[in-house]
With several copies, the nearest count.
Chain A
Amino acid sequence: MYLTSDPLELATLVGQVQSASRGAIACFLGTVRDHNGGRAVLQLDYSAYEPMAEAECARIQVEAERRWECAVALQHRTGTVRVGEAAVVVAAASAHRDEAFAACRFVIEEIKRRVPIWKREVFVDGTMEWVEGGSPGQMGSGLEGQQNSGTAGKLDGESSDLITGKSDATRA
């Protein structure tokens, strides 16, 4: 399972990729930031199209492990993730650090680009905003992602909790 509602443990992923023949392990954690666009963030709520997200994560892992000589592990949180907690974790182990870094970077970029997951920022003042500013990706089918406006889902300009902008508390 690549998606989980439980807290992410970097050490668990490192343990999954580590082996005595792979001496270089590159990791990435994306954690929830406390501020975005000057507003105090309380938490992020993640939702996903789970079966497709699982399939896409599996494809990303396979692609990384084929492209570089490495072992890859990745996990993404669903549900509520509080400030400071990790929303996504990646670990890539290889015999060489060039490969480990390249695979790790590839995986986090592809997660953001291709995996059908969405987050809503919940601010300390009680307001909420769906984050939909990311550029749409090309998923496993090989079809080009459709260009979506950054304000898709906006309801007549008055529902501020639906307005989607370029803000993103985990845009790290």
Chain B
Amino acid sequence: MLPSAPTSTLTVRVLLFASYAELLGRDAIELELEAPATVGDVLDHLRSLTRAEALPTRPMCAVNLVQAATDDLLAQGDEVAILPPLSGG
């Protein structure tokens, strides 16, 4: 985040699944982030909670049920899901 960023904050709900949920010991986290915030900021925060290398550099993510990129901007109330490699079927 830039030093000149406004000091307003936004809250997002982060969902964790499968091995990521196990890794972080929970399946959901409420995060308050300084705006503007991106998916990557959420990932940085998660890395601070565990060993940084435990999450891949660019895990698959979704914002409000739609797949998202690491530099996508977040809005207040967004649901951010961090998805391990899929293994359905």
Contacts and interface: CB of A to CB of B under 8 A. Distances in A.
Interface of A: 30, 46-49, 51-53, 55, 76, 87-88, 108, 111-120, 130-143, 145-150, 152-156, 161-162, 164, 168, 170
A153 B23 contact: yes
B84 A153 contact: yes
A111 B88 CA distance: 7
Given A116-B62, A147-B58, A164-B19, A134 B85 contact: yes
Contacts of A136: 60, 85-86
Contacts of B23: 153, 155, 162
A30 to B, nearest CB: 5
Contacts of B85: 132-136, 148, 150, 152, 164
Interface string B28-51: 000000000000000000000011
Contacts of A130: 18-19, 22, 84, 87
A164 B84 contact: yes
Given A118-B18, A140-B66, A152 B84 contact: yes
The 4 closest A-B pairs by CB, nearest first: A153-B19, A117-B88, A118-B18, A112-B89
Given A143-B69, A153-B19, A117 B86 contact: yes
Main secondary structure of the interface of A (DSSP, over half): loop
Give the contact-size bracket for chain B. 20 to 34
Given A146-B59, A153-B23, A47 B17 contact: yes
Interface string B55-82: 1101111100111111000000000010
Given A49-B83, A134-B87, A153-B84, A118 B65 contact: no
Contacts of A162: 19, 22-23
A113 B38 CA distance: 26
Contacts of A120: 18
A46 B65 contact: no
B3 to A, nearest CB: 29
A52 B86 contact: no
B68 A118 contact: no
